[in-house]
Amino acid sequence: MKQLAIATVGLLISHFSFGQTPADKQKVESLLKQMTLEEKVGQMAQVTLGVVASAEDGVLNPAALKKAVVDYRVGSILNVTNHALSVDQWTKVITQIQDETKNSRLKIPVLYGLDGIHGQTYTLDATLFPQNIGMAATRNPELAKAVTKVAAKELRASGVRWNFAPVLDLGRQPLWSRFPETYGEDVYIGKTMGATVIKAYEEDGLRNPTAVASCMKHYLGYSASRTGKDRTPIYMPEIEMREYYLPQFREAVKAGASTVMINSSEINGTPVHASKYLLTDVLRKELGFEGVVVTDWEDIKRLNDRHFVASTPRAAVAMAVNAGIDMSMVPTDFSFYDLLIEAVKKNEVPMTRIDDAVRRILLLKAKLGLFDNPYPEKNAATNFGKPEYQTLALDAAHEAMTLLKNDGNILPIPKTAKILVAGPAAQSISALNGCWSYTWQGKDETWYPKDSKTIFQTIADKIGAGNVITTTAKGFDAPQNFDTAALKNAAASASAIILCLGENAYAESPGNITDLALPENQINLAKAAWATGKPVILVLTEGRPRFITSIEPQMKGVLMAYWSGKKTGEAIADVLFGDYNPSGKLPYSYPRSMGEIVMYDRKPTEEIREIFNSDMTMDGYKPLFAFGAGLSYTTFEYGDIQLSSKQLQGAAKLNVSITVKNTGTRDGKHTVELYTHDQYASITPSVQRLRAFQKIDLKAGESKVVTFTLDKNDLAFVNEKLKTITEPGDFDVMIGNKKATFSYIQ
């Protein structure tokens, strides 16, 4: 990628020093002076648990552990071998690892890291919350903060102090298999939620047993794959990168992220792991990031054997470290260690670069209190599995639920109705939780908590087993789940059908697909359901938008449930039967067809569809459900927008107020979203951009005045010189169906 102008570094504030004491720095500098090259390089190596473990999960191999920790001096271990471990198993594993470090010359503790993506993924009975895409639907940063605090506590209770989260990639390519880990297609939601989560992980202070080091990932542009396949090439002009993919990481650095994980792919032909421009010039100098840069799985090796930009494995190591990598997730051998030592001795990597990386790693360990006590903390263990976590999981799942269609107010369903529950997700736990759920893929239901409930179970609990029938069997792929003849016969005695379709769990490359269409057996099931003549309510448990265009017109109701964690089933039943009033808002544009995947913040020319000039229409943005869609069981009415001034000048503030009234008969939560439109600009302006949102709670008949404060930064964009600027001119501000106009003057 061409190297371009860098913002003034002196204006940036470093946040990595938060929690770092003078004693930490002194200890680290003292250690560095004592360390040999081998000891330093060992700190930069990270291996997976399988390297030091026996075949049995949670059991270490003493000889292998000694080899890794004493002989190779590895600085970090990550992952599990096959599945989640209990708190007691984690305590034993991490205690044994830290015991072994006492046998090394300098006794430097190991830093353990895990992927706690929507809760503590890899501890049995840990609390799982909605995936990020569901949290984005809540439009509730305070809720995101609360669930993150629990994840941090349960990680720390497991003896783990480093979490590889949150994912800050932008969900604008719905084919991408990591789409559910994103906060959706909007930059503002992504950077707001991301910064909130980073602070929640770290703000208590990393020595505190309620905090863990966060890892913003995957820097940069990982989700923008041309084909949607995981770890495949990205082609992106820098103006797009800076407008859409960099802001989340800029905010995460300001929020205090301790570490960053790098995009496994390549941008414009340059693997990001080899890009000194992105890793040093932009990340370090421009954004001011001072924390640890860690690779993703095996990505330095791939510079040689997949990307073919390094002619030898040693050249790959030198290339990545010189570009700015501090720690290599090797992860299954010690090749990085051997090759980096060779590269330093051959003057291919300067010693200053090694010292720079190791200093950051050791400072992170010091900030985490590992030099004071590297063992699992007893006071942290008391924070695991508290009953209130389950209440919070239900609150989060409730707020994620997004009602997309409710023809004739078919919902809520009377609890006296006779219901047929059908579809592959009806008796699947994995399809409610998705990826990173006690196993990497999340599909093995053996490891889920025993009290986990399916949609079928929660509906039976809600209205009584005698009022519920089903044609389904346990597990998403059970053949009975797709039996159309059985569905037809069972529907005869039902007053309505709840059809549970979507996706089973997947993570990363195993989730690659070639088409967004739902599988044919699910479409056939939907057709059989509506052919019965009974009203059909479609419940979608999916990580990304799968096409339902051919079946949606026949569905009386559509509820998007996402993968919302432990309490997904309960939240679905509460919404369907009226015990919870839905308030979720779609965090992406639900596409209608493969040829019409257009984002909400489209350019004006994307609006136009024409054959001849006289046939021109302005319906280029025509998703099945628009970004921000989401119905309630009550209604809300907006007053006119009130501006504190018709002009915004220089660094001044503009207050935007609107009165919102609950005009229905039920209490309800509602997200008020503020969009702006730049009428004319040197770069074609988007039709609209989300600039702010607030979630409010209104009782039936209640009104509230909601006020937003804007400044020039809320109107800024990246210009052709790659500078983020705000140009003078007229701006529209839109809230719901209301609009007002003001002028910005420099």
pLDDT band at residue 12 using 50, 70 and 90 as cut-offs? very low
pLDDT band at residue 1 using 50, 70 and 90 as cut-offs? very low
Residue 447 has pLDDT above 80, yes or no: yes
Listed in sequence order, the residues at least 6 apart from 466 whose beta carbon sits closer than 8 Å to its beta carbon are: none
Residue type for position 255 = A
Q: Which of 296, 299, 574, 714 is catalytic?
A: 296
Cα–Cα nearest to 574, from 539, 604, 607: 539
Residue 609: what pLDDT? 80
CATH topology (fold) of 397-576? Rossmann fold (3.40.50)
DSSP per position, 238-262: HHHIIIIISHHHHHHHHHT--EEEE
CATH 3.20.20.300 domain range(s) in the chain: 9-381
Residue 19: what pLDDT? 66
- Told to judge if 296 belongs to the known catalytic residues of this protein, a careful annotator would answer yes
Q: What's the pLDDT tens digit per position in 712-731? A: 999 999 999 999 999 999 99
Q: What's the pLDDT tens digit per position in 62-120? A: 999 999 999 999 999 999 999 999 999 999 999 999 999 999 999 999 999 999 999 99
Q: Does domain 634-745 have CATH number 2.60.40.10?
A: yes
Q: Which residues pair with 345 in a beta bridge?
A: none
CB 252 within 8 A of CB 237: no
DSSP state letter for 640: -
* 469 vs 298: CA distance, rounded Å: 49
Long-range CB contacts (within 8 A, 24+) of 223-227: 223/169, 223/170, 223/171, 223/172, 223/173, 223/176, 223/178, 223/179, 223/182, 224/170, 224/172, 224/173, 225/173, 225/175, 225/176, 225/265, 227/175
Q: What's the pLDDT tens digit per position in 651-663? A: 999 999 999 999 9
- The SS3 of residue 110 is coil
pLDDT band at residue 6 using 50, 70 and 90 as cut-offs? very low
pLDDT band at residue 345 using 50, 70 and 90 as cut-offs? very high
Tokens at residue 117, please? Answer: 């993506």
* 136 vs 269: CA distance, rounded Å: 32
CB 719 within 8 A of CB 678: no
CA–CA distances in Å: residue 312 to residues 300, 335, 436 = 11, 12, 34
CA–CA distances in Å: residue 93 to residues 158, 160, 409, 411, 741 = 10, 11, 54, 50, 61
Residue 8: what pLDDT? 33
* 255 vs 166: CA distance, rounded Å: 12
Cα–Cα nearest to 676, from 712, 721, 626, 644: 712
* 171 vs 544: CA distance, rounded Å: 9
Q: What's the pLDDT tens digit per position in 400-439? A: 999 999 999 999 999 999 999 999 999 999 999 999 999 9
Provide the phi-psi class of 386: left if phi over 0, else alpha when psi is between -120 and 50, else beta.
beta
CB 79 within 8 A of CB 85: no
CB 617 within 8 A of CB 607: no
* 657 vs 654: CA distance, rounded Å: 10
Residue 202: what pLDDT? 98
Residue type for position 471 = T
Percent of the chain with pLDDT over 70: 97
DSSP per position, 262-287: E-SSEETTEEGGG-HIIIIIIIIIIT
Residue 208 has pLDDT above 60, yes or no: yes
Q: pLDDT: is 619 or 380 the higher one?
A: 380
141-157 vs 387-400: helix axis angle to the nearest 10?
A: 140
Q: What's the pLDDT tens digit per position in 595-610? A: 889 999 999 999 888 7
CB 43 within 8 A of CB 364: no
Q: What's the pLDDT tens digit per position in 146-193? A: 999 999 999 999 999 999 999 999 999 999 999 999 999 999 999 999
DSSP state letter for 496: E
Task: Give the chain's radius of gyration (CA, Å).
Answer: 26
Q: What's the pLDDT tens digit per position in 579-596? A: 999 999 999 999 999 888
- The SS3 of residue 609 is strand
Tokens at residue 85, please? Answer: 């471990």
Residue type for position 547 = F
Residue type for position 573 = A
Q: What's the pLDDT tens digit per position in 669-689? A: 999 999 999 999 999 999 999
Residue 103: what pLDDT? 98
Q: Which CATH architecture has domain 9-381?
A: Alpha-Beta Barrel (3.20)
Count of all residues that appear for the chain in the document: 746
Q: What's the pLDDT tens digit per position in 253-293? A: 999 999 999 999 999 999 999 999 999 999 999 999 999 99
Q: What is the mean pLDDT of residues 237-246?
A: 98
CATH 2.60.40.10 domain range(s) in the chain: 634-745
Dihedral sign, CA of 504, 505, 509, 510? negative
Q: What's the pLDDT tens digit per position in 514-541? A: 999 999 999 999 999 999 999 999 999 9
- The SS3 of residue 65 is helix
Q: Which residues pair with 77 in a beta bridge?
A: 47, 112
CATH 3.40.50.1700 domain range(s) in the chain: 397-576
* Arithmetic mean of pLDDT over the chain: 96
- The SS3 of residue 398 is helix
In 36-178, beta strands by DSSP E = 45-48, 76-78, 111-114, 162-163
Residue 610: what pLDDT? 75
Percent of the chain with pLDDT over 90: 94
CA–CA distances in Å: residue 155 to residues 50, 215, 452, 565 = 20, 14, 20, 17
CB 506 within 8 A of CB 435: yes
